[in-house]
Structures are given as structure tokens and as C-alpha cells.
Amino acid sequence: MVFRFRPRFSRLSGINWKNKYIYMGILAILLIFNLIAGSELLDNDFPLYSNISIFLLANINLILLLAVFILIFRNLGKLFIDRKKNIFGARLQTKLVTFSIILAVIPAVIVFVFSNKIIGKNIDKWFNSQIQQALESSMNLMQVYQTQAESYVVEQGGLLASFISSGDFVYRNNHPKMEKFIKGYMEKDRVDGIYIYNRYGERILSLHKSRDRINNIVTNKVVNKILKKELIARYDMVNNRPVYWVGHPVYSGKNASRIVGAVVVYKRFPKNQAEDVANILKSYNTYRQTEHFIYPVKNSFKAVTTLMTLFVMFAAIWGSMVYAKSITRPIESLASASSAVSKGNLDVEVEVQGNDELAYLGRSFNSMIKRLNAHNTELNLKNEKLSEMFMQITRDNQYIDSIFKNVKSAIFLYTHSFELLKQNDYAETVLEYANEAFLSSVLTPAALFIDSDERESQFQIEILLKGELRTMTTTITKIFSHDGNVDNLVIVLDDITDLLNFQRVGIWKEIATRIAHEIKNPLTPIKLTAERIKRKAVMGTGDPETIVSSMDTIIAEVESLQSMVNEFNMFARLPELKMVQFGLKDLFEEILAFYKGSNQKADIEIDCPEVMFIGDKSQLKRVFINLVNNSIDAMNQKGKITVKVTEDDNNIRIDYGDNGEGIPQEDIGRVFIPYFSKKPDGTGLGLAIVKKIIEVHNGTITVESEYGQYTRFLMEFRKA
């Protein structure tokens, strides 16, 4: 169920939103046209208040007034009917409209009264006698100024024509004298430019003070008129500046009736004088035309002001009604939705448009209903899920109980105070036949484990069960409560006796195969050498050198077998550690001295500070001799071996590396596996023994290698 909620605008009775926007657009266009027409009337240069203009402006306002009047009384009627019918929101809407009308009408009436008085006084000021006298005086001054300017230019032109006539300067032989005379005349600032023509209309001299010339004005036609005894005096605009110019005929000095040329002089006047003259003429003409319309102007302004005041009042009333509906409609929608919710219907929604407080209230209501609905739905779903979970837990418990009873591992569940809560059948067997061993081998470590920071512990135990020694993997896991404290312990015993026996059989099969292969290699030359000695002894041809050589071969192969047996024995069971404190630097110096006395050509570089180490010195020496031998083989007796030792508060680190052929990536993970070797004569036990010696010294070893470039062994020992 959706309730309409429009806080900005509400639907008017009988008018849909689309038509309403059209009406508002038409009214806006008429109002804009009204303002433009009024401003044009005030700024127009023609008769200011013609009957047509006033009639047009008044009718536009009348149309606006009627349109708003219709909207107002139509909605007032609907509001009155709604109030009679006691429709929700009508009383609040009536109060809002009444208050808005009072706020709109009182200021509009006050403004109307004062504006009419101000308009009447201002119009009277426009047409008083002082303004009329000022305009007429300005016109008289302007005419006197123009007459004086024109007379001055005519006078200067006549004087100049007389001077030229008296000296016969128009003749060619007198041109230099004339030019000199004219320049002197120009320097006295009497005129701004002079043109002199001969009797044929040809210009023989032209002098100017600026670029504002009148070449386009003084044409051949004008010159011909002057040569025909016609005096020409005119006023023109050149480059927006007023110019007075006059043309005089020039008579012969010997014959006063004979015209021998023409002279044209002009005088420029300031630009602002032309503008002042134009403004005076414009103001005077406008004043004379409009003084006959003083009373129509007053009445027209009052009529327009009245219409505009009514329009503003009606528009304010209509706007208050629209605004009142924009408040009451959302409240009405919200009240209807609240009523539906109170009846238990949560499937409601208030349609919201806008960003004001009412819109915020509507959104808050929708959000509240959505949360209530979601909460209600969530509760129903949770109830359904709880029912399903209960059924599933019941089935799971049956399934877990079945697995718990029949699993071949012994499972115990204890509290944090070691009260036994639950155990399976195999756990009961363990408690029945090996209770004391279980207490000492399992529960005692568990009591220490429960106070540690670890979450899980795993170790192996051996217990006698039904007269048979069984090996079991013990896993102890903590179960925490919601507050982070240990709540329970789960102990699981997995019998791995059969698995270990199977692994031992497999390992011994592999060891037997490798030992047989390794022993077979030296036995073959021993057998062949012994047979050769036997043949020579039977034949009686054996010489001492041959016998000695054969015996040396047998002895060498036997020593190889002895070395192999020693390596097997070392890997199987390391000698008992003899823990002493010694300096690693001394250890590496002994190793370096050993290899310097041999024939190897590898460069060994050792960077070791004074670091004390607690361990079996002979075993550690065996580790690095084994690594150096492998490096020498990998570098073909040449290359570089580096050893760097560092320490901190807790650990000692040894970085061993060489630049030999490296280890292929696929073999890096198998270098410490026993019996893995890529050398033809290798047993595959060297690095396995190295790893075992380091581990019994509480250390770790890792390998990094790039095939064809380098190999690094990183060893780390925890300080004692």
C-alpha cells in the first residue's frame, strides 16, 4: 500500500500536475512580458504614454489578475467544502491560508497607498515651470552658441579669401608666398584646416592640424558651387566631432568681379559639445510632446499600480494555498499510513519527494516501517530456522553419536578442571586397561598445556594395551567460551602402531635395496681381483708387484665399504653429544687451515665475529666439512665459498654459500632426504646427516639455489 506524499507541492482539485505546470508557465510568461513592457514604456524615446501602450499594459495585468482570481476562489471553495465535511487537514490548511492572506494583504495595501502618492508627486515634478524654463534657456544658449561658432568660421573664411585675393596668391608664381602665409595663419589657432583651389577646381594647397579632415564633404560639386560665387557655410559631424566649415570664392586683386579660385576653412569643436546639443534637443522635444499627457499618465500609473497590487495579493493568496496543501497533504498521507500500521498492516509506504523537514519525516517513517517489517520478517525466519536447526541438531547429534561410538580413535571430553564429561567406546577401553599410563602420559602434559598460550598440542606416547605395546598420537585441543577462557579440553588418541610398522617395513625395504646397491659396487672389483690372484697362484706365475697391486685394490674397496658403513651408522645413530662452549671463529679457522693444506683451489672467505656457541664441536665441524666438500665438487675444484655469521639477543645465524653449478629447482625439496644423491659415488646421506646434527643442536637449516649460479644454506640456532 503506497500513500502519496509530496511535501513541496500537492495536487490541486480538478487540476493534474501536468496542466498545473502549463498554467504556471503561462502566468510566468505574461508576468515577464508585463515587466518588459513597463520598462520599455519608461525608457522609450517616443511619446511616453500613448493610449495603446497603457491599454496593452493594463489588459495584460487584467488577464493575470483574472487567472489568479479563478485559481484562488476555486480552491477557496474546495477548502470551505472540505472544512464542512470535516476532512483531515482542512482545519490546519484554513489556518495557514488565513495567516498567509493577512501577511500578504496588509503590506501590499501599504505599498499601494505610498506608491500612488510618490508617483503623483514625481509626475508633477516632471512638468513644473522651472524645468520648462531650464529647457527653453538651454535651447536659447545652444542656438546662440551655434550662431557664434558659424559666424566665427564665416568671418575667418572671408578674411582668408580677402588676403589671398589681395596678394594674388592663387597664381602659380605666388604659391610659395601663399604657403608661407597660410602656415603663419594656421599657427595662430584660428582654424583647424584650409583647402585652396584654383579657378579650375584643382586643389593647390591643403593644410591641417589633425587627421580629422573633411575631404569627403568638400567634393568637386561643392567646389564648383563656390566658384560660381556661392557662399557655403555648414555644420557636419566628422569622426563623432562637430565641424563648422565655410567655402568662399577668391576674386582677382586686379579685377574684383573675376573669380580666380576658392578657399574652404573649417573649425573642429569638442566632442562633448555635440552630445550636449543632441541631449538638449532630445529633452526639449520629449518634454513638449509629453506635457499634454500629464493627467492620463497619472491615471494610467494608478491603474497599473492597482492591478499589480491586486495581482501580487492574489498571487500571494494562491501561493499560500498551494503551500498549505504541500504541508497538509503529506501529513494526511502520514496519518493514513500510521492508521494502517496501527491495525497491523506493515506493508505500507509513504511516497516522498523533496528534501525538506516533511520529506525527512516521511523518509524516517518509511525507514521505521521497513525496519519493523524487516524485524518482523526476521523473527519469523529465525523461528523457522530455529525449528529447522533443532531438527538438524537432533539428526546431527544422532550422526555424531554414531561416529563418536564407532570411531577407532579414543576421544575424551574434559572440563577445564579435568572432569570427564564424555568418552567413546575405545576411550573406555583405554581407561580400563591403561588407566595409570593414560594419567601419567596424557593428563599430566594436558595439565601443563592448559596454562600455556598454545591452542593445540600434539605428541606421541606408548602404552601397554591388552598386553600389547601400542604407539598413539595424542592431540589436545582447547575449546574457549565466549569470554575467551578455556572451557573444555578435547583429547584424541590415534593408534598409529600398524601405520608405523607398515612404514618401517617400507623404509627397511628401501634401505636394504640401497645398501645392496652400494655394497655391490665395491664387491665386484674385490671379487675380480681375488679371482685374478687365485689364477696366478694356481698357475704359479704370480709376481710380487701384481699381487701387491691387487691387494691394494682390495684394501681400497674394503675401506670404501668401511666408510659407507660408518656413514650408515652415523645417520642411524649419532654419537652422544659432548656439549662444550667454543668460539665459532676458532672452528672456522681450523676448517680453513685443513683445506689450505690440501690441493683444492677453491677460495674460502669467512666473515665471523667473536661469537660463542654451546654444542658438540666435532659434530659442527663435520657439518661444515661436509658442506665444503659438496661445494668443491660442485665448483670443480675452483670458485668461491662464503661463510657469514651474525647474532642477536636470541639467535645465531650462519649464511653459507658457493657459486657452483647450483641445484635444479625440482631437486631443492629433496636434498635433505636420506639416500637422495645425484653424484655417481654418493650415498645420499651427507646432507641428511648435516640436517640431523643441526636439529639436535636446536637449529634449522634451509636451502636457496639458482641452477647454474649459486647455492646458499641458511642455518639458525637458538641461543642456550
pLDDT-based confidence at 715, cuts 50/70/90?
very high
Rounded distance between C-alpha atoms, residue 463 and residue 67, angstroms: 108
Which regions of 115-252 does DSSP assign to beta strands (E)? 193-198, 203-208, 232-238, 241-251
User: Which of the residue ranges 310-314, 338-342, 366-370 would you say has the lowest mean pLDDT?
Assistant: 310-314
pLDDT greater than 80 at residue 12: no
Q: What is the pLDDT of residue 643?
A: 93
pLDDT-based confidence at 609, cuts 50/70/90?
very high
pLDDT-based confidence at 13, cuts 50/70/90?
very low
Backbone angles phi, psi at 369, to 5 degrees: -65, -40
Q: How many CA atoms lie within 13 A of 553 on its CB side?
A: 17
Q: What is the pLDDT of residue 296?
A: 63
pLDDT-based confidence at 45, cuts 50/70/90?
very low
Give the number of other CB atoms < 10 A from CB of residue 585: 16
Which residues lie across from 460 on neighbouring strands?
A: 473
User: Cβ(602)–Cβ(640) under 8 Å?
Assistant: yes
Q: What is the pLDDT of residue 136?
A: 63
Q: Which residue pairs, CB below 8 angstroms and at least 24 apart, start in 402-407?
A: none
User: Cβ(638)–Cβ(691) under 8 Å?
Assistant: no
pLDDT greater than 60 at residue 571: no
Q: What is the pLDDT of residue 717?
A: 94
pLDDT-based confidence at 281, cuts 50/70/90?
low
pLDDT greater than 50 at residue 14: no
Cα dihedral 451, 457, 463, 466, rounded to 10, equals 100
pLDDT-based confidence at 712, cuts 50/70/90?
very high
Nearest to 328 by CA among 659, 676, 6: 6
Q: What is the pLDDT of residue 484?
A: 81
Mean pLDDT of the region 601-627: 88
Rounded distance between C-alpha atoms, residue 441 and residue 85, angstroms: 93
Rounded distance between C-alpha atoms, residue 152 and residue 266, angstroms: 10
Q: What is the pLDDT of residue 654?
A: 94
* CB within 8 Å of 504: residues ≥ 6 apart: none
Q: What is the pLDDT of residue 658?
A: 92
pLDDT greater than 90 at residue 683: no
- Which residue type sits at 570? M
pTM: 0.33
pLDDT-based confidence at 31, cuts 50/70/90?
low
User: b/e for 255-267, b at 16 or more Cβ within 10 A?
Assistant: eeeebbbbbbbbb
Residue with grid cell 601419567, as numbered in its chain? 440
- Which residue type sits at 212? D
pLDDT-based confidence at 699, cuts 50/70/90?
very high
Q: What is the pLDDT of residue 245?
A: 83
Rounded distance between C-alpha atoms, residue 266 and residue 258, angstroms: 25
612-615 and 651-658 beta bridge pairing: unpaired
pLDDT-based confidence at 52, cuts 50/70/90?
low
- Which residue type sits at 558? V
Dump pLDDT digits (tens) for 86-105: 666 667 677 777 777 777 77
Q: What is the pLDDT of residue 210?
A: 74
Dump pLDDT digits (tens) for 111-164: 777 777 777 666 666 555 555 555 666 666 666 667 777 777 777 777 787 777
Dump pLDDT digits (tens) for 347-392: 777 777 777 777 777 778 788 888 888 888 888 888 888 888 888 8
pLDDT greater than 70 at residue 191: yes
Mean pLDDT of the region 169-182: 76
Q: What is the pLDDT of residue 5?
A: 42
Dump pLDDT digits (tens) for 503-522: 666 656 666 666 665 666 66
The residue among 59 and 610 whose pLDDT is bigger is: 610
pLDDT-based confidence at 523, cuts 50/70/90?
low
Q: What is the pLDDT of residue 49?
A: 45
Mean pLDDT of the region 568-596: 78
Dump pLDDT digits (tens) for 628-675: 888 888 887 678 899 999 999 889 999 999 988 888 888 887 787 766
Print the SS3 string covering 260-328. EEEEEEEEECCHHHHHHHHHHHHHHHHHHHHHHHHHHHHHHHHHHHHHHHHHHHHHHHHHHHHHHHHHH
Rounded distance between C-alpha atoms, residue 151 and residue 7, angstroms: 79
Q: What is the mean pLDDT of the chain?
A: 75
The residue among 467 and 38 whose pLDDT is bigger is: 467
Q: What is the pLDDT of residue 16?
A: 45
Mean pLDDT of the region 460-470: 82
* SS3 state of residue 161: helix
Dump pLDDT digits (tens) for 402-452: 777 777 788 888 988 888 888 888 888 888 888 888 888 888 888 888 888
Which residues lie across from 349 on neighbouring strands?
A: 2
